[in-house]
């Protein structure tokens, strides 16, 4: 039953996030990429794919959509001229505040009735499960 519950949680969060930013034209995958860039700075597409644990092709399509909408730019990596970095634009930074507010709304609903200790324990358990399923743990 845990997988059913995780699936419901993810689906509800995705629907909330997409509805909240529909007027900005930013879907859930695009929000994930923007949050990654704003939280961690410029990343290559490959690094975004590794960080979010998603397919490189999906990242390339998502970045292209964000670039067309003016939310990201690609620049040459000064440390490796063959590599392009994905950079969040000022437009992305402005919409990030709205994304954060909406995340706070759904997070408050999601964790209603749980203590801070329970939330931290859940986070630790989920991180361990994710790490157990990572490719590195298969070796």
pLDDT tens-digit map of 65-112: 999 999 999 999 888 888 889 999 999 998 988 889 988 999 999 999
Dihedral sign, Cα of residue 77, residue 34, residue 11, residue 114: positive
Lowest-confidence segment of 1-5, 123-127, 131-135 by average pLDDT: 131-135
pLDDT per residue over 41-78, tens digit each? 999 999 999 999 999 999 999 999 999 999 999 999 88
Does the pLDDT of residue 139 top 60, yes or no?
no
- Note the pTM of the prediction, 2 decimals: 0.81
Nearest to 102 by CA among 1, 36, 14, 7: 14
> Where along the chain do its domains lie?
2-110
Select the CATH number that applies to the domain covering 2-110 from these four: 2.30.130.10, 2.30.110.10, 3.40.50.12590, 1.10.10.10.
1.10.10.10
Report how far residue 31's alpha carbon sits from residue 14's, in angstroms, rounded to the nearest whole number.
10
């Amino acid at each position: 039953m845990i997988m059913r519950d995780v699936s419901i949680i993810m689906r509800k969060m995705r629907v909330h996030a997409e509805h909240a930013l529909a007027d900005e034209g930013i879907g859930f995958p695009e929000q994930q990429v923007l949050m990654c860039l704003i939280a961690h700075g410029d990343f290559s597409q490959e690094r975004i794919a590794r960080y979010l644990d998603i397919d490189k092709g999906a990242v390339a399509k998502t970045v292209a959509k964000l670039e067309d909408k003016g939310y990201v730019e690609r620049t040459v990596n000064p440390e490796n001229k063959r590599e392009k970095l994905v950079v969040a634009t000022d437009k992305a930074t402005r919409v990030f505040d709205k994304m954060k507010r909406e995340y706070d709304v759904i997070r408050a609903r999601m964790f209603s009735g749980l203590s801070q200790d329970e939330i931290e324990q859940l986070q630790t358990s989920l991180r361990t499960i994710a790490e157990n399923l990572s490719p590195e743990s298969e070796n």
